[in-house]
């Protein structure tokens, strides 16, 4: 037996470094014990592994695995380290395994990661700060203290979100496992706490209301969804309920202002704000598409990209990989971009709708066009992305993207080939979606349309220099 001792229950780097070495040595999962601190955990109750076949040569770990591992490592399931190592070990011989949602191991880790993301979202939504006088600090000794009981090891992973949103406040978040403290400049960590350590109740209700107002998300106004999303333990006397109608009216404006402020707070480096947005979108339930989809597929690319491309919605492969434009349409897009001399790595690429809409036919998931309601529900995210990235030029790939960006139906044939103005004043262009090119049955027409598409890309590339 080999024992790896990780420093903390959320020690992703420690796990990754150890796993790398063990894979290089070809150590099979059933020879491993993973523990945190000094406490051995109960391992391998359900993990059965066939005899290993050594695989020579370099092993490149799929990005989808790393994304899964980063979330799953924060889970409370004591077997998570072993399960992840087992999956990594199998991936060497079965590189496509990560895409196999029917595989019990992949399914179990997906479930853990999903629960973690949900817990992260709940902490952001339901955490309540209370104001206390603690005598320290430059702002007259006011500190905001919150007590929270997460189900998973998410507190450190969530810290950047609270730093970003409450950068100018001094605050502490106390949890049973760890406490984190922000003094306006630096984040520090302390031991776990108990509920009795946190200030209680009524005199500070106004503070909580203020906090709630600042994080308000109208999605939560759907009472059915609220009850489903909010376990009873968070429902103790919620003073904010009375605030809902007024907040709903002003919510979009507030959220927009908050993102703009976050951008200022981080001095032009909007990466933290973008990460917070992406993490929040991971728990999006603004329309029913999240239910059958594997995950939210958020945009990707540099946060200061001068060029933004907006597609329709993730396809089957994007849904599994968690990344936009990686399937057939993405490959067509990459090819055309290269021919047009536009560097995709300088562009931010996203979709109007962030979840895959499909119809299940046997084993196949067939693309289904998003409706106006779904496009409108998802505009929430694209507007935040636009405000953070502030691209010089935005390109709508197809009618759904155009409908989302302009808030109304746009005719591609009429609007194509000229600079348009978005409602926020930004420059936008409309062209066809790469999937359209893939669907054209006549080779001569397909070649002609492809050449037009490349030309459109060349023109927009020229707009950013
Ligand atoms: N089609 C899209 O519109 N977006 C993707 O990410 C993939 C296919």
Full set of structural domains in the chain with CATH: 2-122 (no CATH), 128-197 (no CATH), 204-262 (no CATH), 281-463 (3.40.470.10)
Mutate to test the pocket of ligand 1, among 297, 318, 336 (most ligand atoms within 8 A of CB): 318
**Nearest-atom index, ligand 1, CA of 349:** 6
Dist CA 56 CA 53 (whole Å): 10
Q: Do 282 and 117 meet the contact criterion of CB atoms below 8 Å apart?
A: yes
Q: Which of 354, 429, 431, 415 is nearest to 385 (CA)?
A: 354
Question: What is the 233 CA–ligand 1 centroid distance (Å)?
Answer: 39
> What is the largest distance, in Å, between two alpha-carbon atoms of the chain?
77
Question: What is the 356 CA–ligand 1 centroid distance (Å)?
Answer: 9
Question: What is the 323 CA–ligand 1 centroid distance (Å)?
Answer: 9
**Nearest-atom index, ligand 1, CA of 352:** 3
Q: In what order do the strands lie in the sheet with 307-311?
A: 347-351, 307-311, 393-397, 427-431, 420-421
370 CB near ligand 1 (under 6 Å): no
pLDDT at 285: 87
* β-bridge partners, 427: 393, 421
Dist CA 286 CA 284 (whole Å): 6
314 CB near ligand 1 (under 6 Å): yes
**Nearest-atom index, ligand 1, CA of 325:** 6
The single-letter DSSP state of residue 242 is G
pLDDT at 45: 37
pLDDT at 257: 55
The Cβ of residue 36 has, within 10 Å, a number of other Cβ atoms equal to: 20
Mutate to test the pocket of ligand 1, among 295, 309, 312 (most ligand atoms within 8 A of CB): 312
Q: Do 220 and 226 meet the contact criterion of CB atoms below 8 Å apart?
A: yes
311 CB near ligand 1 (under 6 Å): yes
Q: Which of 121, 15, 126 is nearest to 68 (CA)?
A: 15
325 CB near ligand 1 (under 6 Å): yes
**Nearest-atom index, ligand 1, CA of 327:** 7
Q: Do 407 and 379 meet the contact criterion of CB atoms below 8 Å apart?
A: yes
Dist CA 309 CA 344 (whole Å): 10
**Nearest-atom index, ligand 1, CA of 433:** 3
Question: What is the 184 CA–ligand 1 centroid distance (Å)?
Answer: 41
Dist CA 279 CA 158 (whole Å): 9
327 CB near ligand 1 (under 6 Å): yes
The single-letter DSSP state of residue 300 is B
Burial of residue 455 (number of CB atoms within 10 Å: 0-12, 13-18, 19+): middle
**Nearest-atom index, ligand 1, CA of 324:** 6
**Nearest-atom index, ligand 1, CA of 400:** 3
pLDDT at 138: 53
Question: What is the 329 CA–ligand 1 centroid distance (Å)?
Answer: 6
The single-letter DSSP state of residue 430 is E
Q: What are the distances in angstroms from CA 187 to CA 77, 169, 180?
A: 27, 12, 7
Dist CA 212 CA 254 (whole Å): 12
Question: What is the 82 CA–ligand 1 centroid distance (Å)?
Answer: 34
Question: What is the 386 CA–ligand 1 centroid distance (Å)?
Answer: 18
Q: In what order do the strands lie in the sheet with 39-40?
A: 2-6, 32-36, 39-40
Spans of the chain, pLDDT less than 50: 40-56, 139, 201-205, 207-209, 211-233, 235-255, 259, 262-269
pLDDT at 277: 83
Question: What is the 9 CA–ligand 1 centroid distance (Å)?
Answer: 36
324 CB near ligand 1 (under 6 Å): yes
**Average pLDDT of every residue of the chain:** 82
283 CB near ligand 1 (under 6 Å): no
pLDDT at 39: 55
């Amino acid at each position: 037996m080999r024992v790896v001792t990780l420093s903390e229950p959320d020690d992703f780097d420690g796990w990754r470094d150890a796993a790398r070495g063990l894979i290089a040595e070809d150590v099979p999962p059933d020879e491993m014990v993973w523990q945190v601190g000094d406490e051995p955990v109960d391992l391998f109750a359900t993990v059965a592994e066939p005899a290993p076949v050594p695989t020579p040569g370099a092993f490149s770990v799929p990005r989808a695995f790393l994304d899964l591992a980063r979330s799953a490592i924060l889970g409370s399931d004591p077997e998570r380290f072993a399960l992840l190592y087992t999956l990594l070990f199998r991936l060497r011989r079965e590189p496509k395994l990560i895409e196999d949602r029917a595989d019990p191991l992949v399914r179990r880790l997906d479930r853990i990661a999903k629960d973690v993301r949900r817990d992260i979202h709940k902490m952001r939504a339901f955490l309540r700060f209370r104001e206390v006088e603690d005598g320290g600090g430059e702002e007259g000794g006011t500190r905001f203290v919150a007590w929270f009981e997460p189900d998973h090891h998410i507190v450190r992973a969530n810290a950047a979100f609270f730093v970003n949103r409450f950068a100018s406040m001094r605050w502490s978040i106390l949890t049973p496992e760890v406490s984190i403290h922000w003094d306006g400049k630096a984040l520090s960590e302390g031991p776990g706490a108990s509920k009795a350590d946190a200030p209680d109740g009524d005199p500070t209700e106004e503070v909580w209301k203020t906090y709630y107002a600042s994080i308000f998300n109208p999605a939560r106004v759907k009472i059915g969804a609220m009850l489903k999303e909010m376990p009873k333990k968070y429902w103790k006397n919620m003073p904010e309920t009375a605030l809902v109608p007024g907040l709903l009216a002003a919510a979009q404006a507030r959220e927009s202002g908050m993102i703009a402020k976050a951008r200022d707070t981080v001095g032009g480096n909007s990466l933290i704000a973008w990460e917070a947005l992406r993490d929040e979108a991971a728990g999006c339930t603004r329309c029913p598409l999240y239910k059958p989809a594997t995950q939210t597929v958020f945009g990707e690319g540099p946060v200061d990209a001068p060029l933004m491309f907006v597609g329709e919605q993730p396809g089957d492969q994007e849904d599994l990989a968690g990344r936009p434009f990686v399937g057939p349409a993405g490959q067509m897009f990459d090819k055309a971009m290269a021919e047009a001399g536009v560097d995709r790595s300088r562009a931010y690429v996203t979709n109007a709708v962030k979840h895959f809409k499909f119809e299940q036919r046997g084993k196949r998931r067939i693309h289904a066009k998003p409706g106006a309601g779904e496009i409108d529900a998802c505009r929430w995210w694209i507007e935040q992305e636009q405000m953070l990235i502030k691209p010089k030029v935005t390109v709508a790939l197809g009618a759904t993207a155009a409908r989302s960006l302009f808030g109304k139906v746009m005719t591609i044939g009429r609007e194509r080939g000229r600079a348009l103005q978005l409602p926020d004043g930004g420059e936008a262009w409309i062209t066809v979606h790469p999937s359209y090119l893939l669907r054209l049955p006549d080779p001569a027409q397909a070649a002609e349309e492809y050449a037009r598409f490349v030309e459109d890309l060349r023109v927009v590339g020229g707009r950013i220099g």
